[in-house]
Amino acid sequence: MTERYRISINDLYSIDAEPGLSIFDSLHQAGYRMRVSCRNGVCQICKITLLQGHIEQRYPALKLCLLAEDKPAQVYACTAVPVSDIKIEIDGLLRPGELQMKKLVCDIAAVEQLSDDVYRVRLHLPVTGRQAIEFHAGQYLEIILPDQRRAAFSIASAPDLSSDIELHIRRIPEGEMSLAIIEYLTHNPRVEIELPKGDCYLEAEALAADTTVILAAASTGFSQIKSIAEHLLANQVSNPIHIYWGARAEADFYLHRLPLQWAAEHTNVQVHLVISEPQSSPDWTGRTALLPEAVVADFEHFENTEIFTSGSPAMVYALTDACEAKGLQMTQIHSDVFAYAPRQ
C-alpha cells in the first residue's frame, strides 16, 4: 500500500497527501487554491518552498529532492510528489472557502440617511470589477480614505442579488473616523475599498437541512445579518431562521420593515425586535429585553443550531455565555468579535 504523507503548509494548516498525487493535486482535492497554469513543470508559476522533507520532482526533469538540513528548496507544486512528510511555504494560498482579497475604486451611487444617525451607502462596482469581486454573505470590507486611514464595515447586501454593495454606517458624534468617513462619502464620487474580509459568514449550500439558524444583531450589526438572511432567502433554504434585532429604543430600528417583510413572505422566518430601554420609546408595544436574554428565553436547547451574531463585544460575549449555559458549543456560534476582540 502506498504510504500517506502529511503536508504542513505555512505553519498554519496541514493535509494528508493523496498517495502518488502532486502537492498541487492534493491541495486542490482538499479545497485549497493556489496559482497554477501549465501543470507540467514548465511555466514555474506554482513555485513553492520546500522547508522540510523530501519530494520527487517528476517534471521538468525527474529528480528526487532530498533537503539538506535547514536548506529550503524551490520546487514546482504541480509536479512534485511527496515521498515523506513535508513542510512547505506557499504565497497567495487560499484556504477552502477563502476568496481572493482585492482593492478597487468604486462609484458612490447613493448615501441615504435612514435614521438620526444611520446612513445607507450604495457602492457601484466598476464593470471590470463586478465579475472579479466575490464575497460571502456576512463578510466585511474596508473603506480606504485618501490619507490611507481605514475603517471596516459589514457588507449589508447579499452576494447573490446585485453587483452593487450596500453598507450601513453609524455616525458617532464623538467618533472622528465615523465623521470623516461620512463626510468623505457624502462629498466625493468614488471611494477605494478592499474586500472580502472576515471569517464569519454562511454559505447556503453548506447548511445542513436540519439546522436551525439564529441571526442575532444589535444596532448596525443588522447589516451583517441582513446579508446572511438575504443570501439564505435568495437560495430558498427551508431551514428555520430566527432573526433577532436588538436596540436601545424603537427609533434605532432603521430598517425594521424589511425583516418583517421577510417574515411575512417566508414561513420559515421569524423576526424578533427587542428594545432594552422602553422608557425612551413610549409607543413601543413589542418585546422589551436585552438581546441575549430574549434569545435564550426562546430556546430550550441549541442542538442542530448555528448562531451568527453581530454587535458590541459585550453583547456577543453575553449571548455566548447565556447560550453556552444551555448547552451551545463554541463551534456553533460565529462572530467577527471573536477575531477582533478575543477574550483575555
Provide the binding-site residues for ligand FES, judged by CB under 6 A.
Answer: 36-39, 41-46, 76, 78
**What phi and psi values does residue 49 have, to the nearest 5 degrees?**
-105, 125
Q: Which residue is nearest to ligand FES (CB)?
A: 78
CA dihedral 286, 291, 295, 297 (to 10 degrees): -70
3-state secondary structure of 228: helix
- Take residue 47 and report the three cell numbers written for it: 513555485
Shortest spacing between CB 28 and ligand FES, in angstroms: 12
Rounded distance between C-alpha atoms, residue 225 and residue 216, angstroms: 7
Instruction: Closer to ligand FES by CB, 80 or 217: give it.
Output: 80
Shortest spacing between CB 33 and ligand FES, in angstroms: 13
Instruction: Closer to ligand FES by CB, 28 or 150: give it.
Output: 28
Q: Among candidates 294, 226, 305, which has minimal Cα distance to 260?
A: 226
Q: Taking the CA of residue 18 as centre, how many other CA atoms within 13 Å lie in the half-sphere pointing to its CB?
A: 10
- Take residue 158 and report the three cell numbers written for it: 447579499
Rounded distance between C-alpha atoms, residue 249 and residue 288, angstroms: 10
Instruction: Closer to ligand FES by CB, 76 or 308: give it.
Output: 76
Rounded distance between C-alpha atoms, residue 156 and residue 112, angstroms: 14
Shortest spacing between CB 65 and ligand FES, in angstroms: 15
Instruction: Closer to ligand FES by CB, 36 or 94: give it.
Output: 36
Shortest spacing between CB 93 and ligand FES, in angstroms: 14
Shortest spacing between CB 83 and ligand FES, in angstroms: 18
3-state secondary structure of 220: helix
CB neighbours of residue 249 within 10 Å: 14
Instruction: Closer to ligand FES by CB, 29 or 261: give it.
Output: 29
Shortest spacing between CB 135 and ligand FES, in angstroms: 27
Instruction: Closer to ligand FES by CB, 37 or 113: give it.
Output: 37
Shortest spacing between CB 46 and ligand FES, in angstroms: 3
**What phi and psi values does residue 194 have, to the nearest 5 degrees?**
-130, 130
Instruction: Closer to ligand FES by CB, 44 or 261: give it.
Output: 44
Instruction: Closer to ligand FES by CB, 42 or 179: give it.
Output: 42
Buried b (16+ CB within 10 A) or exposed e, 282-298: eebeeeebbbbbbbbee
Shortest spacing between CB 92 and ligand FES, in angstroms: 13
* Cα-based distances in Å from 31 to 6, 26, 28, 38, 212: 16, 9, 5, 19, 26
